Amino acid sequence: MRKDVRILLVGEPKVGKTSLIMSLVSEEFPDEVPLRAEEITIPADVTPERVPTHIVDYSEAEQTEEQLFQEISKANVICIVYAVNNKKSIEKVTSHWIPLINDRTDKDSRVPLILVGNKSDLVEHSSMETILPIMNQYQDIETCVECSAKNLKNISELFYYAQKAVLHPTGPLYCPEEKELKPSCIKSLTRIFKVSDLDNDGILNDNELNFFQRTCFNTPLAPQALEDVKNVVRRNMTDGVNDDGLTLKGFLFLHTLFIQRGRHETTWTVLRRFGYDDDLELTQEYLFPMVKIPPDCTTELNHNAYLFLQSVFDKHDKDRDCALSPEEVKDLFKVFPYMPWGPDVNHTVGTNEQGWITYQGYLSQWTLTTYLDVQRSLEYLGYLGYSIIYEQESQAAAITVTRNKRIDLQKKQTQRSVFRCNVLGARGSGKSGFLQAFLGKNLQTQRQIREDHKSFYAISTTYVYGQEKYLLLHEVMPDFDFLSEADLACDVVCLVYDVNNPGSFEYCAKVYKQYFIDSKTPCVMLAAKSDLHEVRQHYSLSPHEFCRKHKLHPPQPFTCSTIEAPSKDIYTRLTTMAMYPHARLRCMCACNRCSYCLCQNLLKLELLRSIKAQLCRVVFNSSSQRPPPLYSLTKRSVTALCRLTHGLLAREVTSQTCFWLPFFLFLLHVFTLC
């Protein structure tokens, strides 16, 4: 809303400009007036529109032309005053004043004009006949008014109209010649209609109308008033009311009517409530409210925002198949000035057999946008009218800024629900396949994706200890000389090599050594295309040896060349690692990093095995290598103990306990040998 309004009065000498101002201020006609009144400011609380208003007089005798031009450029509205009994002063309106003002103002930012016929007490007839053609000729003339400083007639009205012309201008809304709403106004009102049509049936029913009324004017409509409104529309057009609700046509007609009856403020109130400025653009404050995001924090949508997005989905999923067909997507984004989702979105989130974005996929895409570019998410929520429908202060109420990641690490706990995994690997190693498999697409389905529809992101949900979490996979372009901060910043790293390509592991090894060897971010080595023949990698260490050396999990075999949708296990594991990066004992099998695995590796040593075998032979006097029954029994108990360790880990037991358990296992193992 505007901070203040500046009204300038111009016109020929002696038409009564100064008297009008004095009459307004003192509420009586001054017998004697100065040539020019001092600039006066009316405080906000005594003006009808509650905006401080400055009134500025002009006197040819006291001011230079330059001063006049300055005042014109400062004014928000200009009243051209003439005396109704002075023909010459009327002629001067068109011959002098309007051209002079137009010359001094930009065509795009013309100030509204008001024609003021003063001294109406001196004549019987009205000057309107002469004035109306002028009004029709010049679009910038907002209105005209006849008044008398002497009789105090229409004085406060005059200043009220001037104020209104600034605060609720006709220009952007209505075209007087065509007698219809301007296209940009129709567009804005159509968006408002769509946002308010909560069930998307193309009709504002009584509930929706009441909600709309409450939202815009803070009061519901009385049942009778509601009927009256509909009756007015019914009387004027055939398809304005349908099924006892207001159609878009009826809604637009009502606003045309408001404007034609001089009640622009009604339409403006609606437009402003839905975030529009004077040029009928959504304001920056509405679309981009402040959200402070400290470093090492991420952005997520909160529960309320998901509920809202769910209702938006339901409203547009007309066939109730829990997926959005291309038409439904188009319909959903009709309230946007542009289509925000490209064809790549269909390969970023989950889709159904037809390739349509599912409900889960839709929420995932919102989650992704919020995580990667919260400003964009705020903007999109603005178009959908989140803060209006959910009666929130701003779109910012939809966003949760998570706790600093470093505090999460310290406390070994996180409340976050979105985790990012950067996927790195040489060209052709199978990164995209890994991303697409997360969306349930096997190799065959992936081959149908057009090159220009491919996405470098994939996001979906996984369950970690019963909690639903989002895992965001990001495929990083393979160029390890230029990996940026953003390429490296994530919660878990996935290094992909192709088991069938001997040159592919080197990239993983180099990237790991250059960027992740000292980082706290957990890393997983992925042996992609595991359905193909595994070849020896051209690297000094085999992937297994490399992992062992660097205390990484052994390479995880992965293939998306499956008949069914590929398995989701690896994604759950990645999410778990992202959630619990501190938990070194994160797997009981062979993570190669935890104390248990170290013990296991020790036991697996060739030397120890041969001693064991020899001991067995000596003790049991048998040539067979079969272990004694006691040993088998212990092996079972080892497994049980492993489970216990893992279970404790899941409950975040301190690493000390996790150390002693494997140590105990080790001793048990050695004892069984003796």
Residues that bind ligand GDP (CB under 6 A): 11, 13-19, 33, 118-119, 121-122, 148-150
Contact between 149 and 20 (Cβ < 8 Å): yes
Q: Of the two residues 122 and 670, which places its CB atom closer to ligand GDP in the complex?
A: 122
Q: Of the two residues 83 and 203, which places its CB atom closer to ligand GDP in the complex?
A: 83
The least distance separating ligand GDP from the CB of residue 80, rounded to whole angstroms, comes to 11
Concatenated DSSP letters of 531-592: TSPP---SSSS-HHHHHHHTTPPPPEEE----SSPPP-HHHHHHHHHHH-TT-S---SS--S
The least distance separating ligand GDP from the CB of residue 168, rounded to whole angstroms, comes to 27
Dist. CA 563–CA 560, nearest whole Å: 9
Q: Of the two residues 118 and 188, which places its CB atom closer to Mg ion in the complex?
A: 118
Which 54-73 positions form the footprint of Mg ion (CB under 5 A)?
59
Pick one of ligand GDP, Mg ion, none as the site partner of residue 155 (Cβ within 5 to 8 A by kind). none
Q: Of the two residues 15 and 282, which places its CB atom closer to ligand GDP in the complex?
A: 15
Token pair, residue 586, equals 């994160």
Q: Any long-range contacts for 331-338 (C-beta under 8 Å, 24+ apart)? A: 331/200, 334/191, 334/194, 335/191, 335/194, 335/195, 335/383, 335/384, 335/385, 336/380, 336/383, 337/383
Among candidate residues 411, 460, 434, the one with its CA nearest the CA of residue 575: 460
The least distance separating ligand GDP from the CB of residue 165, rounded to whole angstroms, comes to 20
Q: Of the two residues 31 and 106, which places its CB atom closer to ligand GDP in the complex?
A: 31
Pick one of ligand GDP, Mg ion, none as the site partner of residue 172 (Cβ within 5 to 8 A by kind). none
Dist. CA 212–CA 218, nearest whole Å: 9
Q: Of the two residues 32 and 243, which places its CB atom closer to Mg ion in the complex?
A: 32
Dist. CA 605–CA 103, nearest whole Å: 94
Could you give the strand order of the β-sheet that contains 141-146, starting from the edge strand earlier in sequence? 40-42, 53-56, 5-11, 77-83, 113-118, 141-146
Q: Of the two residues 122 and 668, which places its CB atom closer to ligand GDP in the complex?
A: 122
The least distance separating ligand GDP from the CB of residue 89, rounded to whole angstroms, comes to 9
Among candidate residues 85, 112, 84, 80, the one with its CA nearest the CA of residue 95: 80
Q: Which residue is nearest to ligand GDP (CB)?
A: 16
Question: If phi over 0 gives left and psi between -120 and 50 gives alpha, with beta otherwise, what is residue 471?
Answer: beta
Q: Which residue is nearest to Mg ion (CB)?
A: 18
Q: How many residues does this entry show for the chain?
A: 674
The least distance separating ligand GDP from the CB of residue 134, rounded to whole angstroms, comes to 19
Among candidate residues 32, 15, 24, the one with its CA nearest the CA of residue 55: 24
Pick one of Mg ion, ligand GDP, none as the site partner of residue 148 (Cβ within 5 to 8 A by kind). ligand GDP
Q: Of the two residues 121 and 180, which places its CB atom closer to ligand GDP in the complex?
A: 121
Cα Dmax for the chain: 136
Q: Of the two residues 122 and 633, which places its CB atom closer to ligand GDP in the complex?
A: 122
Q: Of the two residues 2 and 14, which places its CB atom closer to ligand GDP in the complex?
A: 14
The least distance separating Mg ion from the CB of residue 156, rounded to whole angstroms, comes to 20
Q: Of the two residues 150 and 669, which places its CB atom closer to ligand GDP in the complex?
A: 150
The least distance separating ligand GDP from the CB of residue 96, rounded to whole angstroms, comes to 14
- 3-state secondary structure at position 497: strand
The least distance separating ligand GDP from the CB of residue 198, rounded to whole angstroms, comes to 54
Pick one of ligand GDP, Mg ion, none as the site partner of residue 117 (Cβ within 5 to 8 A by kind). none
The least distance separating Mg ion from the CB of residue 42, rounded to whole angstroms, comes to 19
Among candidate residues 217, 218, 198, 194, the one with its CA nearest the CA of residue 206: 198
Among candidate residues 15, 31, 13, the one with its CA nearest the CA of residue 23: 31
Alpha-carbon torsion angle 391, 395, 396, 400, nearest 10: 90
Q: Of the two residues 59 and 404, which places its CB atom closer to Mg ion in the complex?
A: 59
The least distance separating Mg ion from the CB of residue 312, rounded to whole angstroms, comes to 59
The least distance separating ligand GDP from the CB of residue 10, rounded to whole angstroms, comes to 9
Contact between 460 and 470 (Cβ < 8 Å): yes
The least distance separating ligand GDP from the CB of residue 95, rounded to whole angstroms, comes to 18
Q: 524 Cβ partners below 8 Å, 6+ apart?
A: 492, 493, 494, 495, 552, 553, 556, 570, 573, 574, 577
Q: Of the two residues 11 and 425, which places its CB atom closer to Mg ion in the complex?
A: 11
Pick one of Mg ion, ligand GDP, none as the site partner of residue 10 (Cβ within 5 to 8 A by kind). none
Pick one of ligand GDP, Mg ion, none as the site partner of residue 669 (Cβ within 5 to 8 A by kind). none
Token pair, residue 624, equals 């067979």
* Using rule CB under 5 A, residue 139 touches Mg ion: no
Dist. CA 3–CA 643, nearest whole Å: 68
Q: Of the two residues 35 and 648, which places its CB atom closer to ligand GDP in the complex?
A: 35
Mark residues 11-30: x for contact with Mg ion by CB under 5 A, - for none. Answer: ------xx------------
Concatenated DSSP letters of 211-253: HHHHHHHSSPPPHHHHHHHHHHHHHH-SSSEETTEEEHHHHHH
The least distance separating ligand GDP from the CB of residue 336, rounded to whole angstroms, comes to 52
Pick one of Mg ion, ligand GDP, none as the site partner of residue 612 (Cβ within 5 to 8 A by kind). none
Residue 152 has a CB neighbour count (10 Å cut-off) of 17
Contact between 90 and 96 (Cβ < 8 Å): no
Dist. CA 176–CA 255, nearest whole Å: 14
Among candidate residues 212, 149, 532, 244, the one with its CA nearest the CA of residue 385: 212
Among candidate residues 378, 345, 338, 344, the one with its CA nearest the CA of residue 361: 345
The least distance separating Mg ion from the CB of residue 25, rounded to whole angstroms, comes to 14
**164 φ/ψ angles, rounded to the nearest 5 degrees:** -65, -35
Binding site residues, Mg ion, CB under 5 A: 17-18, 59
